[in-house]
Structure 1
Amino acid sequence: MFNPSRDQVRQFFVEAWRKHKAGEVQTPLETIATDWIAEHPEYHADLERPDALTAEFSVESGRTNPFLHLSMHLAIAEQLQIDHPRGIRSAYERMAARTDHHHAIHEIMECLGQVVWESQRLGTPLDSDAYIELIRQRAGHAN
């Protein structure tokens, strides 16, 4: 899934969760996704809704978009696996040591959200240097 549409992303998570609940064989990526879904029971009903593929989750309604949130989890999991941007894994390990792995991921997610927002606002590519710097600051070591 290199540049999936909104519908493809939603279908992926809905289908991964359905397969998980049915005990069906999953792809490695689906397994990672369902591990994150399992850590977010507040999203289970959203993924099981008949209208999950078209439902709106607006900030104005006070709802977190489960598909966006879970997509960010997957993106960060991949970044940690390949240590890109360089240093993200050690910063994550430092954060996880003082809290827990899920909270550390959410701290990184805040940084990712900030640089994505800035990129969209300015119409520029995502600034990897700013991203890793924000993460390092949260981890307690600037470099």
Structure 2
Amino acid sequence: MFQPSQSDVRRFFCAAYAKQRDGRPLDPMEDIAARWIAEHPEYHADLSDEAAALAAQYTVEDGRSNPFLHLSMHLSIHEQAAIDQPTGIRQAVQLLAARRNSLHEAHHEVMECLGEMIWASQRSGLPPDGPAYIEAVRRRATR
């Protein structure tokens, strides 16, 4: 399994943004990342300076979200839906996107469910509960 470091992730997003901005060809994963980057112009300054991105610290006390974590979660959810893993996530995301009339807004809600599942897994020491995660997304789609 590929386990990129924090620096690898930040370099990846900075490079994808630079290629997108300059009109250079993107590989398939960069293309997906670039689409989510385009949805977040508030992160463009962070992505424009790789050296600063590598040095940046994003703490709760600073009151800023971590653009690299946020974009990584978009990629994770995109990939989960693309391969339907856990089984049922594709349909749950599609239902939520239809309900919100926005895939982007749906992703933000799915991020909350994903974060809760990871937190519960870490807290309990048990594997992530995929069915509970999907059910949480489905519940949001019915609100």
Q: TM-score, normalised by structure 2?
A: 0.91
For 1:34-85, what per-residue CA distance to the aligned partner results, in whole angstroms no more than 9, with x for missing partners?
A: 1000000010011113411120111111010000000000000001111111
Q: Does 1:74 align with 2:75?
A: yes
Shift of 1:88: 1.3
Which residue matches 1:132?
Answer: 134
Work out the CA distance in 1 between the residues paired with 2:134 and 2:42. 29
Which residue matches 1:87?
Answer: 88
Q: Does 1:107 align with 2:115?
A: no
Work out the CA distance in 2 between the residues paired with 1:124 and 1:34. 34
Work out the CA distance in 2 between the residues paired with 1:54 and 1:120. 27
What is the aligned-residue identity percentage? 57
Work out the CA distance in 2 between the residues paired with 1:129 and 1:39. 29
Superposed structure 1 runs of 4+ greater than 3 Å apart: none
Work out the CA distance in 2 between the residues paired with 1:2 and 1:125. 19
Work out the CA distance in 1 between the residues paired with 2:70 and 2:30. 15
The number of aligned residues is 141
Which residue matches 2:99?
Answer: 98
Shift of 1:123: 3.4
List alignment gaps of at least 5 residues for structure 1. Answer: none
* Greater mean deviation of Cα atoms: 7-16 or 116-125: 116-125
Instruction: Looking at secondary structure, tell me which structure has more helix per residue.
Output: 2
List alignment gaps of at least 5 residues for structure 2. Answer: none
- Supply the AA of the counterpart residue of 2:28: P
Which residue matches 1:57?
Answer: 58
Work out the CA distance in 2 between the residues paired with 1:83 and 1:35. 20
* Greater mean deviation of Cα atoms: 93-102 or 114-123: 114-123
Work out the CA distance in 1 between the residues paired with 2:93 and 2:81. 8
- Supply the AA of the counterpart residue of 2:104: H
